[in-house]
Structure 1
Amino acid sequence: MNHLAHAVLAGDDEGRRLGGVLGDFVRGTPDPAWPAAVREGIALHRAVDGYTDRHAEVAAARALFPPPYRRYAGIALDVWFDHCLARDFARWSAVPLAPYSSGLRGLLDRHQALLPPAARRFARYMHAHDLPAGYADPAAIGRALAGIGQRLRRDNPLDRMLPLLQALDGPLQQRFEAFFPQLQRFAREWTPPHP
């Protein structure tokens, strides 16, 4: 799952939502000085990633990718599933996508002092590209994949995967629709680890 899904899965608590977005930018143990809800959001982010990586629907979706793309299918699916979520957001959230997106950017702005440098850069990128609402546009998905590909150390096909994702849209959408309600239930029932 990518940033939009992690924010949605974190629920209504702002601290957890902030932690859900920060999960990709924090390595190791989160700063104990951070609010407990932010640390819980980071732990939930990691639990969601683990659940997603082991899920049969996600494995079936990864299997749709031919070599050499299959090796990077997990990354591509994380981003594409945010596209699936964004383009049908009213189905998954009571809050419309545009205000949800601007609210999430506002949350990052209000807590900028807590953001690691990479998260601050990403917050600026979110503002510049109207994210996460922009994930409803396939072109934004292409840009996101190309950006991720540039940050990886080895040569990879991420900047060329958008046409393949679009060609696989029907079966990927079916996998997403089967998987996401189960992921929502997992996130709702998840309890934070005891310190």
Structure 2
Amino acid sequence: MNYLAHLYLARPDPEAMLGALLGDFVFGRSALEDYSAVERREILVHRQVDRYTDDHPQVAGARALFAPGLRRYAGIALDVFYDHCLARDWSRHCDTPLDDFTAAFYRHLLSRLDDLPPRLRAIAPRIAAHDWLGSYRDRASVDLAVRRIATRLSRNGDRLVACLDDLRRHEAAITAGFEVFFPQLVAHVQALRRDPRYA
């Protein structure tokens, strides 16, 4: 899952949501010590969400729709597209309007700039200024985000961009798979939080 889904799945408070985002920027166990107990918990939940997503049959089936040489990169494109599916139908999932949800998070994110890992500190102002999270409701933002990610890959960014054609070709099937997968992911996270490590 990508940024918006991780924030949605976090405990509904700014510190927890920041922890959910940090999961994409904090690696290893020792690095966890730099963050609060709430943030550490959400980083660990983030890792569990990623593992569950990667292993889910609907997601594996979606990856299989991509050309064999692209499947290694398809997961990145799918993560972004799943954020689009969530944002597009946001009112089905959350009572708080998407613009209010993202604005509250942006305020907290920008208030914590000095505490962020360098890569997140560098892009956080752009995330907020250009409303990356809210922009996912527009289909064109999927292509833009995937192309942006491709520029950060150390190699084979062109293969990630090439995934966009297969994503368009199989969009209906991938969307249908998301509708099956996402409620199961939400239920998985709810069950996970019954474990004291993630409560």
The reply to whether TM is greater than 0.5 is yes
Name the amino acid aligned to 1:178. V
Question: Mean alpha-carbon deviation: is it higher for 161-170 or for 15-24?
Answer: 161-170
Cα offset for 1:192? 5.3
Give, in angstroms, the shift of residue 138 of structure 1.
Answer: 2.2
- Looking at secondary structure, tell me which structure has more helix per residue: 2
Change (3 A) 1:192 1:33: farther
Q: Could you say which residue in structure 2 is the equivalent of 1:85?
A: 86
User: Which residue among 163, 167, 170 is the counterpart of 2:169?
Assistant: 167
Task: Indicate conservation of the 8 Å contact 2:14/2:105, yes or no.
Answer: no
How many residues get paired?
194
Distance 1:98 1:163 in 2: 30
Instruction: Provide the residue aligned with 1:54 in structure 2.
Output: 55
Secondary structure of the residue that 2:168 maps to in structure 1? helix
Counterpart residue number, 2:23: 23
Where in structure 2 are the equivalents of 1:33-182 lying within 5 Å?
33-155=34-156, 156-182=158-184
Cα deviation digits, residues 20-44 of structure 1 (max 9, x gap): 0111111112342421000101000
- Structure 2 unaligned segments of length 5 or more: list them: none
Conserved? CA contact 1:16–1:38, under 8 Å: yes
**Corresponding letter in the other structure for 2:172:** G
1:91, distance to aligned residue in structure 2 (A): 0.9
The one-letter code matched in structure 1 to 2:36 is P
Any conservation in 2 of the 1:145–1:159 contact (CA below 8 Å)? yes
Aligned residues: CA RMSD: 1.7
- Given residue 79 of structure 1, which amino acid in structure 2 is its aligned partner? V
Q: Which moved more, 1:171-180 or 1:120-129?
A: 120-129
Match of 1:161, as an amino acid? C
Of residues 2-11 and 108-117 in structure 1, the stretch that sits farther from structure 2 once superposed is 108-117
Unaligned runs of at least 5 residues, structure 1: none
Normalised by the length of structure 1, the TM-score is 0.92
Contact 1:40 1:192 in 2 (8 A): no
Secondary structure of 1:25's partner? coil
